Structures are given as structure tokens and as C-alpha cells.
Structure 1
């Protein structure tokens, strides 16, 4: 049984996922205890502009609460430049702008942000950044072993333990593809 879902709110072209307005009420209707969003990025568009537009669209579609959690996808290398310092700044800008946007909508509440990545992608994209800024964010690590047990986690970046693990990807289900995660 699925009690927790993470929808892609923003696609890798920087555009809002228009299907959220249909998916969110359906997920709420089957008593999902938690609905989070992940954000695929487009470095050609300003980080703040992307997250603000996505948060505003979620708000318009009534798919946002003060407790909404966002995961920034720091994985697909083709969407990130080779300048690791610029990549780190982009992520920080997105988190900071997201917190500001949420505080404006929900009287002072900030958004909760985390990072979705693997050890190899974090190293490639950020140079294995260990800044305290990132240590304050939760980690959803990707390790497609087929095993949901998180005992295989090895420290990387600033993280000593993960919050979630994506252990299998692109599984065909109900006319779509899903990823399996454990928490």
C-alpha cells in the first residue's frame, strides 16, 4: 500500500507539471499521509524564478500546504554545468528563494527542502560539497540495488544518514513508470 508519494512538480525544462492539479486531489482522496514534490532543474533559467513559479502554480492548483516538502533533483548530469561552484550556488539560490516564496504564502512558514542525489552525482555536480548549508537539508539518496534497506548507506557530502532511499527506478505500473523508495 502506498501512503506517501512524491510528484515531479517541475520538469527538467523548468516548467511546471500541469498534471499536478489532477494528481494531487486523487492522492489526497486515497488518504496519502504525505505528498512531497521533486524539482527537476533547468540551469538556463534563474533558480529563484523557477522555484517561485512552481510554488505559485502549486498554490493556484490548491496543491500546496505550509508543510509541503520539496526535493531538489541533483542527479541527471546533463542538466548541470561543469562549474561545481556555480551548481552549488544555483541549489542554494533555489532553496533560499523557495523559503521566501513559502513564507510569503503561509505567514512566515518556510518550505522544507531536501536533496535527491547519489554519491557519484553529488561529487560530479557539486565537487562533493560538504557545506553546513547542505548538511541542514535532508537527503533522499539514489542507489538502485533493488533493496530498500538503508544499511548500505555510505557517508557523502555533508550527510551522515539519509531520510529516504530510491532503490529501484522506472518500474512500469498503472500505465506509467514509478520509482520505489523507502523511508
Structure 2
């Protein structure tokens, strides 16, 4: 992620431009206390990505407090992600409601990641692309830095492996549960020639917290 073009991005992206040592972090989908974030920090996890939008098309009401707890525990880089609900419609509203909830609660986040995966999408790849582009445009309208969480096995059936410029020009966080904190396994797809973050272990536990484990160089 050491790309000069990304220096305007906050949080995780900025951290990548400032150091050469590898950095480990977690993403979470449940509320995490300040004490647990302290434990995670003490165990070498330096960034957090918190679910802020649920697959039901609603705001995750635990997200703001979890982000605040992470900040209070000294986690230096805290982002959020949204798991969109295609069948719920209103992609811009899903984004706007989530961002406004975090901002109104004083939950300071660096980036929003669009979680593009799962089976709840349209059978029409063009309809899915339109939905994703609407979310991206709303993030642009709101002045929010963003990236995409996905993998080839998810992106390809959902979008037809489309290159959506609003996304492919921004960071990619990809998943491959090989327990290897390395990009050696990555092959280009969807217009992304290199990744930013790898989710290398899923459904794990750290400090008694259910997490997915992530890494960037």
C-alpha cells in the first residue's frame, strides 16, 4: 500500500506510506470493549475495521461505540465496513445512514470498506454494478475515503469481474484464508493490480474476541 497516490487516504492507508514493517489488525462484527481492544493492542494488533452497516440494510448500532472504544484503547488506525443489502434497495441511503450514524456519535474512522461478497446479489451483473457504483458515488458525495473488500471468487460472479474505476482506482482488501500474511498468493482481478490488505485468517479468536485477522506490509 506504499503508493504516493493514496496519501490523501486516512487511517490504514496513511500508515502504509509511513513505515516498512508489517502491520497486523483485526476486523470485527460485534461490540468490542475498550479493555479487549487494550488486550488486542498489547498482542500486536495495530488496526481495526469495524462493521458499521449490516446485511439487513440497517446501521450496526454497536459500531460507533466499538470504534470509540478502539480509539480510547490507543488503536492508531480504525476503519469501518458495510455489508450491503442489495434486496433492500436504496444503496445511497444505506451509505448515508451508516456514515451519519458514525459521525453523529463522534466515532472517528479513517475509511469505509465496501464488503462485496455473498449470495444476496442480483442475477444481473449490470444491476449489481449499478448498485455498487451508487454506493461509491454516495461516499464520494460525503467526502469519505473508501476501498473494497472482496476476492476473485466473490467479485467475479457478482460483477462479471468488471473493472469499476471508482473502486479499482482505490485500495483493495482481499480475503484468502491460507494463514499466510503475505501477498504472494495474489493474482490481479477486477482492475486491481495489487492489494492493500489481506485477510488471511477468518473466524479466529484473539483476546476472547471473535475476529478475522488481517495484514499489510
Match of 1:26 among 47, 69, 86: 69
- If asked which structure has higher relative contact order (CA below 8 Å, sep 6+), I would say 2
Residue of structure 1 equivalent to 2:179? 146
Matches within 5 A, 1:45-56: 45-56=89-100
Distance in 2 of aligned mates of 1:19 and 1:129:
33
Distance in 2 of aligned mates of 1:21 and 1:163:
24
Runs of 4+ in 1 over 3 A off after TM superposition: 173-176
Residue of structure 2 equivalent to 1:90? 131
Distance in 2 of aligned mates of 1:32 and 1:46:
33
Are 1:64 and 2:105 an aligned pair?
no
Residue of structure 1 equivalent to 2:122? 81
Deviations 1:43-96 (A, max 9, x none): 12310010000011001111135xx201100111x2211111111111110011
Match of 1:8 among 31, 51, 60: 51
Gap change, CA 1:149 and 1:89, over 3 Å in 2: same
Distance in 2 of aligned mates of 1:176 and 1:155:
32
Deviation at 1:164, TM superposition (A): 0.4
Structure 1 portions without partners, runs of 5+? 102-109
Distance in 1 of aligned mates of 2:49 and 2:136:
18
Distance in 2 of aligned mates of 1:64 and 1:88:
29
Gap change, CA 1:131 and 1:60, over 3 Å in 2: closer
Matches within 5 A, 1:117-136: 117-136=150-169
Q: How many residues align?
A: 172
Q: TM-score, normalised by structure 1?
A: 0.89
Distance in 2 of aligned mates of 1:3 and 1:119:
27
